[in-house]
C-alpha cells in the first residue's frame, strides 16, 4: 500500500509530456524533392553595447559613494612624477583605445551598408540582391543518392554568389529552423563570419550587412 501511494505521488510530480517532434527522416522524405536552403550569415558584435541609462546612473552613484567614504592621503605620498617613457606609453595606449575601441566605424560615417566596419555593437546579417529583391543567400536542393549533401550544396552556392575569399563557420550540424510552405520548405542554416570580403557573383547584383531592425 505504501509503495502504491509513493507511485501515485511520483506520477503527479512528473512534468507533462511534450508533443513529439516529427522525426528527421520523415521531414527529409517529405521535402526531399522540394527543399530550399537559406544561409543566415551573421557578424557577431565587435564591441560591447552601451550601458543603459539606469546602469550608468548606478555606477556613478557607486563611484561617488566610494569616493565619499574613502580616506584621502597627502599628495606627496600618493602622487609620483611621470617620466618621459611612461608618459609616452600612456599616450600611445590612449590613442589605441580611442581608435580601436570606438563604437562608430567608417561605414557608419559614410553610410556604406556593404562595409563590415559599421554597427560594431550589433549583429549584422548578410543579404543579397537577386532579381531586384533583397533576401538571404539561398538555393534549391533535391535529395537523392547522387545529390550533394546539404552543406556541400549551400557551401558551393555561397562561394559562387559571395566569393571564394569569404570564410564562414557553420554553427551546428542541423538547420536553425525550417519554414514549411505547402509541399515545399525552406531550411535555415546559421553561419558566422570569420574573415574575407563579399564579392557578389552568380546572379547576385549586390550585398549588404544589415541589423535585424
Per-residue pLDDT tens digits for 173-193: 888 888 887 777 888 999 999
Summary mean pLDDT of the chain: 80
The DSSP secondary-structure symbol of 141 reads E
Question: How confident is the model over 197-209, as a mean pLDDT?
Answer: 85
CA 144 to chain centre: 32
3-state secondary structure 103-165: CCCHHHHHCCCCCCCCCCCCCEEEEEEECCEEECCEEEECCCCCCCCHHHHHHHHHHHHHCCC
3-state secondary structure of 163: coil
Q: Say what the pLDDT of residue 173 is.
A: 84
Per-residue pLDDT tens digits for 6-26: 455 555 455 555 544 444 445
Per-residue pLDDT tens digits for 68-92: 888 888 877 777 777 778 888 888 8
3-state secondary structure of 7: helix
Cα 146 to Cα 48, 142, 149: the distances in Å are 46, 10, 9
User: pTM of the prediction?
Assistant: 0.69
The grid coordinates of residue 58 equal 548606478
Question: How confident is the model over 97-107, as a mean pLDDT?
Answer: 74
User: Is 42 in contact with 190 (CB distance < 8 Å)?
Assistant: yes
Amino acid at each position: 500500500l505504501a509503495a502504491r501511494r509513493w507511485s501515485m505521488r511520483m506520477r503527479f510530480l512528473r512534468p507533462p509530456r511534450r508533443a513529439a517532434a516529427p522525426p528527421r527522416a520523415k521531414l527529409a522524405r517529405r521535402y526531399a524533392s522540394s527543399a530550399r536552403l537559406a544561409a543566415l550569415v551573421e557578424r557577431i558584435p565587435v564591441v560591447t553595447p552601451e550601458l543603459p541609462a539606469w546602469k550608468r546612473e548606478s555606477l556613478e552613484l557607486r563611484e561617488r559613494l566610494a569616493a565619499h567614504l574613502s580616506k584621502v592621503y597627502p599628495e606627496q605620498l600618493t602622487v609620483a612624477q611621470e617620466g618621459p617613457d611612461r608618459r609616452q606609453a600612456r599616450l600611445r595606449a590612449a590613442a589605441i583605445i580611442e581608435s580601436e575601441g570606438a563604437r562608430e566605424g567608417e561605414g557608419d560615417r559614410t553610410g556604406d551598408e556593404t562595409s563590415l566596419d559599421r554597427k560594431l555593437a550589433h549583429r549584422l546579417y548578410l543579404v543579397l540582391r537577386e532579381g531586384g529583391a533583397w533576401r538571404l543567400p539561398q538555393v534549391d536542393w533535391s535529395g537523392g543518392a547522387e545529390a550533394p549533401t546539404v552543406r556541400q550544396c549551400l557551401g558551393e552556392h555561397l562561394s559562387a554568389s559571395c566569393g571564394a575569399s569569404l570564410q564562414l563557420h557553420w554553427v551546428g550540424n542541423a538547420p536553425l529552423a525550417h519554414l514549411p510552405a505547402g509541399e515545399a520548405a525552406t531550411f535555415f542554416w546559421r553561419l558566422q563570419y570569420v574573415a574575407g570580403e563579399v564579392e557578389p557573383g552568380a546572379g547576385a547584383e549586390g550585398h549588404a550587412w544589415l541589423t535585424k531592425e
